[in-house]
Amino acid sequence: MSDLIGLQTLSEKPTRLDQSQLKLNFSEAAVSQLEEIKSHYPSEKAAILPALWIAQREYGGFLSSEAIAEVAHRLHRAYAEVEGVATFYSMYNTRHKPGKHKLEVCTCLSCHVNGAYRILDLIEKKLGIRPNETTEDGLFTLEEVECLNACDRAVVMQVGDSYYGPLTESLLDTIIADLKSRTESTVIQMADEIVKVHLPESAV
């Protein structure tokens, strides 16, 4: 870990990071979005989850330690606290930087009995990666996930804000081809969309 988030700073002043060491990357729009969202709650701390969504977007789909430090700074919380929150939730990308698109395949109950592991196998072969890995070109990350709560469409896969199912080999080929042709990362797009639903029309 870099000095930026070192224990030195934390042990001296547990709730505040040394401003001079901090690089702030939130855009102007991001800052004003965070201000609006903060006004929805009686406590600043409650804005941690939405702020992490903003950070996930601003930092290219990945909550690096710099991203977490910025959230901690902006909400006047300790780095460790925000890190603890971020790592609790599976949709925040804290462990490794995901590819441009994240394929999240449900293997839970209804999907399982409808052949989810066969589908997962098929995707592994097509992309040449195992779950939690990213293709060399950085395009795709594969993940096995719990019930996406769209079991009527089992076997289901989520990519960004889109649900696909029932999955077949030809549907998979279509989805993969479509994703390859996109310029925007569905991971970043999704974080952006999540931030936006917090914001009333009057604030946009």
Partner 1 sequence: MAERKLLLEHSHETSFRTRAGYEQTGGYEGLKKALGMERQAIIDEVKTSGLRGRGGAGFPTWIKWNGLPKEKKTSHFIICNADEGEPGTFKDKELIEKCPFLLVEGMTIAGVATQADAGYIYIRGEYLDGARSLRSAIDEAYKAGYLGKNIMGSGVNFDLYIHMGAGSYECGEETALMSSLMGERGMPRLKFPHAPLPTISGVFEKPTLINNVETYCCAPFILKNGGEWYATLGASTKNSRGTKIFSVSGHVKKPGNYEIEFGTPLQELLEIAGGMVDGDLKFCVPGGSSVPMIKKAEVERAIIGYEEMSEVRSMVGSGGCMFFNDSTCVVTFTWRTAQFYANESCGKCTPCREGTRWMVQILDRILAGGGNPGDAELLQQVASQIDGRSFCPLGDAAAWPVAAALRVFPEEFAYFIENGSSMVTGAKTLAMAP
Q: Which residues bind partner 1 (CB under 8 A)?
A: 40-43, 45-50, 52-53, 75, 84-85, 88-92, 107-110, 112-115, 117-118, 121, 146-154, 158, 161, 190, 193-194, 196-198, 200-202
Half-sphere exposure of 14 (CA within 13 A, CB side): 2
CB of 118 to ligand FES, least distance (A): 14
CB of 34 to ligand FES, least distance (A): 33
Are residues 30 and 51 in contact, defined by beta-carbon separation less than 8 angstroms? no
Binding of ligand FES at residue 10 (CB under 6 A)?
no
Euclidean distance between CA atoms 78 and 89, whole angstroms: 18
Considering the complex, state which of residue 15 and residue 90 has its C-beta at the smaller distance from ligand FES: 90
Tokens describing residue 161: 């804000």
Using CB under 6 A, which of 4, 46, 49, 108 touches ligand FES? Answer: 108
Binding of ligand FES at residue 156 (CB under 6 A)?
yes
Considering the complex, state which of residue 65 and residue 114 has its C-beta at the smaller distance from partner 1: 114
Tokens describing residue 175: 């989805």
CB of 175 to ligand FES, least distance (A): 16
Please count the residues of this chain forming the interface with ligand FES, following the rule CB under 6 A.
12
Binding of ligand FES at residue 163 (CB under 6 A)?
no
Tokens describing residue 30: 């991001």
SS3 for 90-116 is: CCCCCCCCCCCEEEEEECCHHHHHCCH
Question: Which stretches of 13-133 are DSSP H helices?
Answer: 28-38, 48-58, 65-74, 79-88, 109-113, 116-127
In total, the chain counts a number of residues equal to: 204
Q: Which of residues 112-151 bind ligand FES (CB under 6 A)?
A: 147-151
**Binding interface with ligand FES (CB under 6 A):** 106, 108-111, 147-151, 154, 156
